[in-house]
Amino acid sequence: MFDNKEKTNLNEMGEFGLIQHLTQTIQLTNESSVKGIGDDAAVLDFKDKKTLISTDLLLENVHFDLRYVPLKHLGYKAIQVNLSDIYAMNGIASQVTISIGVSSKFPLEALEELYAGALIACEKYKVDLVGGDTSTSTQGLVISVTSIGYAEADEIAYRSGAKEGDLLCVSGDLGGAYVGLQILEREKQIYLENPEIQPDLEGKDYIIERQLKPEARKDVVELFRHLHVKPHAMIDVSDGLASEILHICNASNLGCKLYEDKIPIDPMTYETAREFGLDPTVCALSGGEDYELLFTVPQSDYDKVKNQLDISIIGYMTEPAAGQKMISKSGSEHDIVAQGWNAFTKKD
Ligand code: ADP
Ligand code: MG
């Protein structure tokens, strides 16, 4: 991964020097950030708003593979996937902390890349990096991100809030991140067999970006405010559509009808899935990592959402006894099952 250009050994820097170096350019931009890095704890002030907090832990070779994930992208994605959880509550993210466990095989320059990516994401989404922790690791790179945000009490969208008859909607398109991963995995195998061969990613930019550089849907939360829509229930699509639908159904104690032909799938995702011999619908249902928002709205909001190009109405919520069903393109009805990682033999 790292070439032999001049590199700075982390051991020479010391923990304090490293933190100082990585965070020296950070400036706080949000009113709620009273004190950031530099004391024993950050100080935040959300006045009369509710505080939202979410944490993710990312482990090398479990959640990411440094053989094809550039560190800058990893830093960016680590922030995005975590902010996505705040947006999934219909909140606005305002701060993050980043903790890293890193072995001395990493030069300083590698961590600079990681932080460069993380800070680009923070800047783009207007969140302040207000703290973290730093340690050595003997077992690969460890990254933990915590994001903090806020919402009015009555704006918060819980998984449990769906009502019978609600429209089931999703933002963007699905399955792309999983199909993008298949391309990266294929090129990794080719590279391992013959390092002379350059990766062939030609024409697949969109789905590779979906995998390496996902975008949390802050814009959708802002759209809700603009349209005066309050989702009854919401969740982000990290494990695949099927699993997320079942989370909403179970938490809300409801059934649902999902229409296969309404699931939004980008043409590039569709064609590439076919090239790999995969069913595009299965990629959307079980692939995961799309970080779109899945939500329900009352039928009275139909006029507000129906013409939004980036929102698809994919079904509706039913009484629990009707079960959780997908109506296939041929019209037959199937139980929705959360296969997640088990759906594909390639994914561990
Ligand atoms: P403590 O001993 O209280 O854990 P540290 O020396 O670890 O303090 O941290 C000093 C400051 O630097 C704190 O504000 C902490 O949040 C911040 N910090 C530590 N590690 C990181 C990191 N990896 N990224 C961002 N901020 C960090
Ligand atoms: Mg510490």
Q: What's the total number of domains in the chain?
A: 2
In the sheet that 324-327 helps form, which strands lie side by side, from edge to edge? 233-236, 293-297, 167-171, 311-318, 255-259, 324-327, 333-335
> Residues 271, 296: one domain?
yes
Counted residue by residue, the chain has a size of: 348
pLDDT score at 191: 80
Is the same domain home to 304 and 213?
yes
Q: What is the pLDDT of residue 119?
A: 97
- Give the per-residue pLDDT at 3: 55
Q: Are residue 322 and residue 193 in the same domain, yes or no? A: yes
**Mean pLDDT calculated for residue range 6-21:** 87
Whether residue 347 is predicted with pLDDT greater than 50 in this model: the reply is no
Find out whether the beta carbon of 19 lies less than 6 Å from any atom of ligand 1.
yes
Q: Are residues 41 and 67 in the same domain?
A: yes
Residues 198 and 50 placed together within one structural domain of the fold: no
Report the pLDDT averaged over residues 321-339: 95
Mean per-residue pLDDT, 6-30? 90
Pocket perturbation via mutation, ligand 1, pick of 27, 43, 58, 134 by most ligand atoms within 8 A of CB: 134
Contact between 177 and 290 (Cβ < 8 Å): yes
The residue ranking higher by pLDDT, 304 or 197, is 304
One domain, residues 171 and 120: no
Of 112, 133, 155, the position where a domain reaches its end is: 155
133 labeled part of a ligand binding site: yes
- Name the residue with the closest Cα to ligand 1, atom 16: 131
Q: Which atom of ligand 1 is nearest to the CA of 99?
A: 23
pLDDT of 74: 97
Q: Is the pLDDT of residue 291 over 90?
A: yes
Do 171 and 313 share a structural domain? yes
Residue 348 is predicted with a pLDDT of 38
200 marked ligand binding residue: no
Q: Which of 142, 39, 51 is nearest to 95 (CA)?
A: 51
**Average pLDDT of 54-83?**
95
* Residue 87 within any structural domain of the chain: yes
What region does 203 belong to: left with phi over 0, alpha with psi -120 to 50, or beta? left
Last residue of a domain, one of 155, 178, 201: 155
Q: Is residue 5 part of a domain?
A: no
The residue to mutate among 43, 127, 133, 142, having the most atoms of ligand 1 within 8 angstroms of its beta carbon, is: 133
Residue 110 lies in a domain: yes
Residue 14 is predicted with a pLDDT of: 85
Q: Which residues contact 85 (CB under 8 A, 6 or more apart)?
A: 54, 56, 147, 236
Please tell me whether 239 is known to bind a ligand.
Answer: yes
Q: What is the mean pLDDT of residues 244-262?
A: 98
Whether 164 is covered by a domain: the verdict is yes
Q: What single-letter amino acid sits at 327?
A: I
Asked which of 96, 130, 155 is the last residue of a domain, the reply is 155
Domain extent for 25: 10-155
Residue pLDDT, tens place only, 232-252: 999 999 999 999 999 999 999
| Segment 28-33 long-range contacts (CB within 8 Å, at least 24 positions apart) | 28/128, 28/130, 29/126, 29/128, 30/94, 30/95, 30/126, 30/127, 30/128, 32/94, 32/95, 32/150, 33/94, 33/95, 33/128, 33/130
Residues near ligand 2 ion, CB 5 Å cutoff:
133
Ligand lying nearest the CA atom of residue 79: 1
pLDDT of 194:
84
**pLDDT > 70? residue 162:** yes
For residue 21, being part of any structural domain is answered with yes
Q: What is the pLDDT of residue 326?
A: 97
Asked if residue 40 has its Cβ within 6 Å of ligand 1, the reply is yes
Average pLDDT of the chain, as a whole number:
93
Based on the domain organization, do 135 and 279 belong to the same domain? Answer: no
Residue nearest to atom 2 of ligand 1 (CA): 40
Q: Pick from 309, 308, 269, 307: which is nearest to 285 by CA?
A: 269
* Within a domain: 348: no
- pLDDT tens column, 85-110: 999 999 999 999 999 999 988 899 99
What's the mean pLDDT in 123-138? 96
**C-alpha torsion sign, points 186, 187, 190, 192:** negative
pLDDT computed for residue 68 by the predictor = 84
The pLDDT of residue 341 is above 60? no
Query: How many CA within 13 A on the CB side of residue 8?
Result: 12
Q: Could you tell me if 79 and 179 are in contact, meaning their C-beta atoms sit under 8 angstroms apart?
A: no
Ligand 1 touching residue 100 (CB < 6 A): yes
Over residues 189-233, the pLDDT tens digits come to: 888 888 887 777 778 999 999 999 999 999 999 999 999 999 999
Choice between 151 and 192, residue whose per-residue pLDDT is larger: 151
- Residue 346's pLDDT is 40
Determine the pLDDT at residue 200.
75
Query: Known binder of ligand: residue 316?
Result: no
DSSP secondary structure letters along 241-309:
HHHHHHHHHHHHT-EEEEEGGGS---HHHHHHHHHTT--HHHHHHH------EEEEE-GGGHHHHTT-T
Residue 127, domain member (yes or no): yes
Looking at residue 47, which CATH number applies to its domain?
3.30.1330.10
What is the per-residue pLDDT for 2?
A: 53
- In this structure, the answer to whether residues 168 and 293 fall within a common structural domain is yes
| 168 lies in the same domain as 148 | no
| Partners of residue 116 on adjacent β-strands | none
Arithmetic mean of pLDDT, 267-272: 97
84 and 203 together in one domain = no
d(CA 291, ligand 1 centre) in Å: 29
pLDDT at residue 4 is higher than 60: no
Task: Please tell me the distance between residue 15's alpha carbon and the centre of ligand 2 in angstroms.
Answer: 9
CATH code (residue 322): 3.90.650.10
* Sequence-distant (≥ 6) Cβ neighbours of residue 271 within 8 angstroms: none
**Together in a domain, 186 and 319:** yes
